[in-house]
Structure 1
Amino acid sequence: MISSMTGYATRSQSTSYGTLTLELRAVNNRFLDIQLRLPDDFRALEPKIREHIAQQLYRGKIECRLNFTPHSAIENPQALNSALLQKLLELNTAVKTSLPEAADLSVAEVLNWPGMLGNNTLSIDALHQNILALLQSVLPDLKAARMREGEKLQAVLLERVTRMRQHVDAILPRIPALIAAFDEKLTTRLQEALNHLDDDRIRQEITIYAAKIDIDEELSRLQTHLDEVERILNTGGAAGKRLDFLMQELNREANTIGSKSVDIDISKIAMELKVLIEQIREQVQNIE
């Protein structure tokens, strides 16, 4: 399947330190452009996050936004452990009862007591592993969303290709009739103007005219390009750049058909082909 460059995915994970939320948004871009929105504490992860994304995605503007909501004890690491403080007071009283000469605990000693400011101090290194694991779970969601969009694009593009083939099929039967009509018209006019003109000269003029309006080669190349568009769409993978190139080639053939046309209906068909090619080209810009 082909993949669109547009998609969105998000996941959250609860850790012992707080809740991590990772969002990935993707839109069209000529190349892979990764933009990170990370809290300052996690800036060191930027190279690894970029590496992980680049391994999975090939084109598009990717915005990766990380939010971290710490637990209250982490958010206010200076909060005292009330239970432990009460226990120290009780122990201090018991010691003073047994040893009246013993010195009281100082404020610094109380604050530095293990666990007094909580054991839930933020571990950045531990959260780094959580973040990378969360990224690995979100990336498949984003790819799936882009593939769902790509499936819709594929259906639209194949429908446009079918319509282009119908227009080409409408042109082919008209060419012999145009040449035959010109044959009859030119023969009549030349014979009226120059009664002595021989049939060889008439045939020569008709041959020159037929060569000028001959679009068999353009139609053949156009059909070949349409075959390749269908093959790429059905093969899948990163197809955007190849399809964009084919749109240029298709447009070139449609322009030539229009410029060679001496028939109003063929001119109209050439215009319809150009409209369809432009519609396909606009959609191709969304394909990875």
Structure 2
Amino acid sequence: MLQSMTGYGKAFGTFFNKKITVEMRALNSKGTDVYLKLPGTYKSYELPIRKMIGKALERGKVECLITEESIDGNAKVSINQELASAYYQQMKTLAVKVGEEPSDFVTAIMRMPDVLQTKESEVSEEEWQEVEKLIQEALKNITQFRQEEGKSLVADFTTSIGEIERLLQEVPKFEEVRIDVIRERMRKGLEKLQEKVDENRFEQELIYYIEKMDVSEEKTRLQHHLDYFRTTMENDGAMGKKLGFIGQEIGREINTLGSKAYHADLQKIVVEMKDNLEKIKEQVLNTL
């Protein structure tokens, strides 16, 4: 079944005294683009996380956010007292030098670089396994979301393909009419020239134009491409690119029909076919 490239998935759990949340969003993209935002504690696992996401989602622009927060309220933060003291002494000396009254420098010092430090504890194998489970759960949720969106894509594709097929079935009723139009146009042209008409030659010329106007092959190929599009929709996996190629072939046959139309009503049919094909092309861009 088809899947959309758009999706959202989330999972969270606890490990000892921390809550871990994994959140993913996916949008359409030609390739696989994974953007990760991780706590410092999990930076060493960036490569395996990327591989997990790429393997599960195949294609799309994916944003993955992993956060951790303390449950007991004890944040793992420390003050670099040596650095803070050095800042304090220098600020105090500067204040005396410029003639300023010494004031409360602590607030300013706490904002200085590297004064506040986060204690990054080493991630145990057990903790990584829990994080891995949450990533897999988020991937499962985002895949389910994509599958639900895929159902809507299938419905839209089915409607547009069905409409092109319906219009294709309207083509034969205009084929005989346009031949009569060409025959009448040729006769009137000869009458204006006041030339004697050689009926055998006239019929030969008419057959030549009829052969040039014949759209039997185009109709057959177009129907084949429509059937192939339907069959491909039923396959599993990433079918978006393949559907795009089939859509291009559908477009070629519709364009050829238009170039051989020579009839106003047949041209209208071709325009409506193109309109439905544009809808297909737009949806294909969001298909996995």
- TM-score bucket of the superposed structures, by smaller chain: 0.7 to 0.9
> Equivalent residue of 1:173, what SS?
helix
CA distance in 1, matches of 2:130, 2:217: 60
Task: Compare 147-156 and 264-273 and name the one that shifted more.
Answer: 264-273
1:16-61 CA deviation, whole Å, 9 max, x = no partner? 0300000011100011111111112211111111121122121111
Counterpart CA distance in 1 for 2:162 and 2:236 is 18
- Residue of structure 2 equivalent to 1:75: 75
Cα distance in 1, alignment partners of residues 193 and 32 from structure 2: 68
Structure 2 equivalent of residue 285 of structure 1: 285
Within-5 A mapping of 1:153-164: 153-164=153-164
> Helix, strand or coil for the counterpart of 1:2?
coil
Contact 2:41 2:122 in 1 (8 A): no
Matched, 1:2 2:8: no
Aligned partners of 1:4 and 1:149 also within 8 Å: yes
Aligned partner of residue 250 in structure 1, secondary structure: helix
Which residue type is aligned with residue 214 of structure 1?
A: D
* Residue 228 of structure 2 corresponds to residue 228 of structure 1: yes
Larger Rg: 1
Letter in structure 1 aligned against 2:196: H
Q: Which runs of 5+ in 2 are unaligned?
A: 79-119
| Paired residue type of 2:123 | I
Give yes or no for contact 2:38–2:67 (8 Å, CA) kept in 1: yes
After TM superposition, the structure 1 = structure 2 runs for residues 91-240 of structure 1, keeping only pairs within 5 Å, are 122-125=121-124, 126-187=126-187, 189-190=189-190, 193-194=193-194, 196-240=196-240
Residues in 1 aligned to 2:74 and 2:172: alpha-carbon distance in whole angstroms: 75
Q: Matches of 2:77 and 2:183 in 1, distance apart? A: 95
Please report how far the alpha carbon of residue 62 of structure 1 lies from its aligned counterpart in structure 2 after TM superposition.
Answer: 1.0
Report the Cα distance in structure 2 between the residues aligned to 1:49 and 1:76, rounded to whole angstroms. 24
Native 8 Å contact 2:17 2:72 kept in 1 = no
Comparing 182-191 and 151-160, the one that deviates more:
182-191
2:29 maps to 1:24: no
For 2:197 and 2:73, the matched residues in 1 are separated by 106
Question: TM-score, normalized by length of structure 1?
Answer: 0.80
Q: Which digits, 9 at most, give the CA deviation of each residue in 1:161-219, with x for residues without a partner?
A: 00001111111221122213323443455367455322111111211221232222222
Once the 2 structures are TM-superposed, how far is the Cα of residue 268 of structure 1 from its aligned partner? 1.1
The answer to whether 1:45 aligns with 2:45 is yes
CA contact (8 A) 1:74 1:122 kept: no
Q: Deviations over 1:58-87 (max 9, x none)?
A: 111111110100234651477xxxxxxxxx
Partner Cα distance (2:178, 2:276) in 1: 25
Which sits farther off after the overlay, 17-26 or 127-136? 127-136
Segments of 5+ residues of structure 1 without an aligned counterpart are 79-120
- C-alpha distance in 1 between matches for 2:236 and 2:71: 45
Moved more, 68-77 or 267-276: 68-77
CA shift for structure 1 position 15: 1.5
- Please tell me the root mean square deviation across aligned C-alpha atoms, in Å: 1.9
What is the CA-CA distance between 1:3 and the residue it aligns to? 0.5
Taking the aligned partners of 2:159 and 2:259, their CA distance within structure 1 comes to 26
